[in-house]
Amino acid sequence: MNVIQKYGGTSLESIEKIRAVAKHIASIRKEGDGIVIVASAMGKTTDELIALANEVGKEVPKRELDALLATGEQKTVALLAIALQNLGVPAVSMTGFQSGFITTDHHSKARIKEINTERTEQYLKEGKVVVLTGFQGISEEGDITTLGRGGSDTTAVAIAAQMGWDCEIYTDVDAIFTTDPKINPNARKLDRITYEELMELASTGAAVMETRSVELAKKYNVKLYIGRSLEGNIRKGTYVMNDSIYIEEMPVTGISISDDCSIYSLRGLENDGVAIANLFQLLADLHINVDMISKQTYENNKCTISFSCTDEQASDLDKAIENHELLREILVEKQPNLSILSLVGVGMATATGVASKVFSILAKEGIQYYQITTSEISISVTVNRDEKIKAVIALCEAFGL
């Protein structure tokens, strides 16, 4: 089978682990298979290089930072190619410029423009495993660029899309679970999940893959596999594919949990566009990134605006409240230390009664909840952080997770 395999930094953090990955590749490789490996930098290398750059000077120009960071993956691919050759597997490493990853020139967050796979295909024809640097590319001007957070996943999915191959993401989690097994030990492993569900889970806290890479996979219909690197050909991870391929009988596929949430409620605002617009302009000026927003109107043409933000931003906001007339004038109520629970499932788009079931379960358990937001395939509720475990376990049980 032809396949793109991506190995993350944790899977490659030591020489021992690099050799284990090489062994894994050697064990699954059959005559005639086309295998392209995408590798991240070893362990914490990228963080260490960033620290080094910050030690050199206050200002770190992004062009130079990209050139510096690119050495991380370059080191891994060379070592992995050496490890493979020592197991008798013909292998060849390539950096971003060698493997034809042409990107925009937006250093530290470049976008892939095109991939010239000519050299890769030539090496594959020669029966070689091709080991590519993740995360990096080259601009049309010949500058080294990096793709930003989750960049190696993007590299892997992009080349899979280009080649029309499946893409296996080997990471430090066994699979995608119905919810965080650390919160609910009864969490079930998901054999399959849709792109949309994975994106909803990722955007609400379960960061197995960056949304950007999943979006790319969805767009080009790249079949993904997410799991832990193993000896042999046993796949215990999760496949990500199009929802059309299978019908999920259950409306909820998983629950993601995000702890970093505070809610503010501003009561007694004038219910006209101006006051509300001024409020959000002020929040934008304070660089407060608002997540969930809800508005309720009541008598006297007044309204209440509630919104959530991260704990760090909440502390910025608390300081600002003292200094800003607009915020001082209105009644501000803060609900700190909340958790957001997001129930995600493509089945939700067609199933009815999911919301009411959620509310009745929480009520039955005596769990108070605050802000609620919904999307086509998700419903998110905020609960007090000290009640989240109780809530997750109850919801998992009710929805068969």
Task: Point out which residues bind its own copies (CB under 8 A).
Answer: 15, 18-19, 49, 52-53, 55-61, 63-65, 67-68, 70-71, 74-75, 77-79, 81-83, 85-86, 92-93, 95, 97-98, 119, 142-144
Residue 19: CB minimum distance to its own copies, A: 7
Q: What's the rounded Cα separation, in Å, for the pair 307 and 34?
A: 50
Specify the residue, 9 or 251, whose C-beta has the smaller distance to its own copies. 9
Min separation Cβ 116 and its own copies, Å = 11
Residue with smaller CB distance to its own copies, 49 or 207:
49
Eight-state DSSP code of residue 33: -
Which residue's CB is nearer to its own copies, number 135 or number 195? 135
**Between 63 and 111, CB nearer to its own copies:** 63
Mark out the alpha helices in 144-240 (DSSP H runs). Answer: 151-163, 195-203, 211-219
Pick the closer one to its own copies by CB: 66 or 243: 66
Cα–Cα distance measured from residue 80 to residue 131, given in angstroms and rounded to the nearest whole number: 8
Residue 23 or 223 having the CB closest to its own copies: 23
- Give the list of residues 6+ apart from residue 223 with CB closer than 8 angstroms, or none: 166, 167, 239, 240, 241
| CA–CA distance, 361 with 59 (Å, rounded to integer) | 52
CB of 58 to its own copies, least distance (A): 6
**238-241 and 224-228 as β-strands: parallel, antiparallel, unpaired?**
antiparallel
Shortest Cβ distance from residue 128 to its own copies (Å)? Answer: 11
C-alpha to C-alpha distances, 33 to 126, 164, 242, 298, 336, nearest whole angstrom: 11, 14, 25, 66, 54
Letter string b/e over residues 372-398, b meaning 16 or more CB atoms within 10 A of that residue's CB: ebeeebbbbbbbbeebbeebbbbbbeb
The one-letter code for the residue type at 41 is A
The nearest distance, CB 49 to its own copies, in angstroms, is 8
**Nearest distance, CB of residue 34 and its own copies, angstroms:** 20
Q: What six digits make up the tokens of 297?
A: 């109107």
| Shortest Å, Cβ 92 to its own copies | 7
Contact call for residues 155 and 101 (beta carbons, < 8 A): yes
In the complex with its own copies, the residue whose CB is nearer, 85 or 271, is: 85
Pairing of strands 3-7, 166-171: parallel
